[in-house]
Amino acid sequence: MACGVYRRGERDPHPRGFDAALRSARAGRDGFVWLGLYEPSEDDLAAVAATFGLHPLAVEDATQRHERPKLERYDDTLFAVLKTIRYVDHQKVSATSEIVETGQIMLFVGRDFVITIRHGAHGELQTLRARLEARPHLLARGPAIVLHAVADHIVDDYLKVADLIQRDIDALENAVFDHRTRFPDAGAVYQLKREVVEFKHAVLPLATPLRTLADPDGDVGPIPPEVRSYFRDVEDHVHRVTERVAGFDDLLGSLLQATLAQVSVAQNQDMRKISAWVAIAAVPTATAGIYGMNFDHMPELRQEWGYPAVLTFMVTACVVLYHAFKRNGWL
């Protein structure tokens, strides 16, 4: 996607291939190469690895799209995997809604180079590169500052996504406890919980690599001590996001239980109403069944007032049962 040589924070205006760029940076001994790749093929990555001397195990991981966030050191080169998160716009959460979309950015950081590899349709770094180029005093600190800028950019996106998910949770919570809603959408709550878990898997493993990078006494190869303090702020933001995502997970778990409880209560109410009407209907059904057996000797069978008396009995019994069920809340 882009390749540039930076000397004392200023970009060399002459375009060149990454192999020539690396020779130029090492010849001057005062610059570094920033190479940006987007979903490179194995052959492309093999050519880059041969030029920059990347470790085969790290190169193998860089071709995968679903690596966990991590930080590994291979001699004087760091290999970092970061998860990107994008909030997917939608009108309301449903059982099939996609809330978050994940991608990956992998970085190789050496003494005189930094290679960024992006997997996924989002998480572009061209804007970040332009922002850093406008602040040459930062770029003058070398490849480590690019690693910090990328991590800070990704974690800032985490905070924005967390705010948007909070809005979705508030909307679902209002819908679940809305008295006008008989059957809350449990599928929507469960889907949002699944998306939050995906968000959680992207954020939680990142805490350990950032703690390592921020440790002033640690040995993290090409990260100079003066840059490590920058990572403390990013680590603090990750802790904030982690706490919020854990809270989302707990809240959605409780919300899902409340939703299922409300659905169960509504179903029980329906069953009580059905049972009450069945009990009321049983009185005239049983009475009509008894007098429909056509025996010769039955009470009041030959009396003129027998028919209206039976009808009066059935109506009276039904009315009494209706008021009894109504008083007990079954109807």
The whole-number pLDDT of residue 25 equals 74
- Average pLDDT on 34-39 reads 88
Distance CA 62, CA 107 (A): 9
Please indicate whether residue 24 or residue 193 has the higher confidence score (pLDDT): 193
Q: What is the mean pLDDT of the chain?
A: 82
| Count of all residues that appear for the chain in the document | 331
* pLDDT tens per residue, range 240-295: 999 998 888 888 888 888 877 777 777 777 787 888 888 878 878 887 777 777 66
DSSP-derived letter for residue 12 is: P
User: What's the CATH code of the domain at 109?
Assistant: 3.30.460.20
pTM metric for this prediction: 0.76
What is the phi/psi pair of residue 308, to 5°? -65, -30
* pLDDT tens per residue, range 218-244: 777 778 888 888 888 888 999 999 999
Terminal CA-CA length for the chain: 69
Two tokens, residue 243: 């706490």
Winning range, highest mean pLDDT, from 28-42, 263-277, 317-331: 28-42
The whole-number pLDDT of residue 302 equals 65
Q: Answer with the one of 210, 237, 262 that is the final residue of a domain.
A: 262
Two tokens, residue 157: 């996106």
The whole-number pLDDT of residue 106 equals 92
182 and 304 share one domain: no
The whole-number pLDDT of residue 231 equals 85
Torsion of Cα atoms, 53 then 55 then 60 then 61, to 10°: -110
Please indicate whether residue 167 or residue 314 has the higher confidence score (pLDDT): 167
- Average pLDDT on 1-6 reads 80
Let me know if 227 is exposed, middle or buried by CB neighbors in 10 A (0-12, 13-18, 19+): buried
Strands (DSSP E) along the chain, which ranges?
Answer: 2-7, 10-11, 31-38, 70-74, 77-87, 100-109, 113-119
**Among residues 189, 167, 170, 168, which one has the least CA distance to residue 261?**
189
Mutual orientation of helices 143-176 and 126-133 as an angle, nearest 10°?
A: 130
- Average pLDDT on 93-98 reads 82
19 and 162 share one domain: yes
Q: Answer with the one of 262, 281, 305 that is the final residue of a domain.
A: 262
The whole-number pLDDT of residue 212 equals 86
154 and 286 share one domain: no
pLDDT band at 162 (very low <50, low <70, confident <90, very high): very high
Cross-strand pairs, 113 = 33
203 and 291 share one domain: no
Residue 280: HSE in the Cβ half-sphere, 13 Å Cα cutoff: 19
* pLDDT tens per residue, range 73-84: 888 888 999 998
Number of domains the chain is built from: 2
Residue 8 pLDDT greater than 70, yes or no? yes
Q: Which residue range is the domain that position 277 belongs to?
A: 265-327
The whole-number pLDDT of residue 303 equals 66
* pLDDT tens per residue, range 47-73: 888 888 888 888 888 887 778 888 888
Two tokens, residue 144: 């480590």
> Percentage of the chain surpassing pLDDT 90?
7
Distance CA 80, CA 1 (A): 19
Distance CA 318, CA 42 (A): 80
198 and 280 share one domain: no
Distance CA 58, CA 182 (A): 54
- Asked if 231 and 213 touch (Cβ cutoff 8 Å), the reply is yes
Cross-strand pairs, 104 = 83, 119
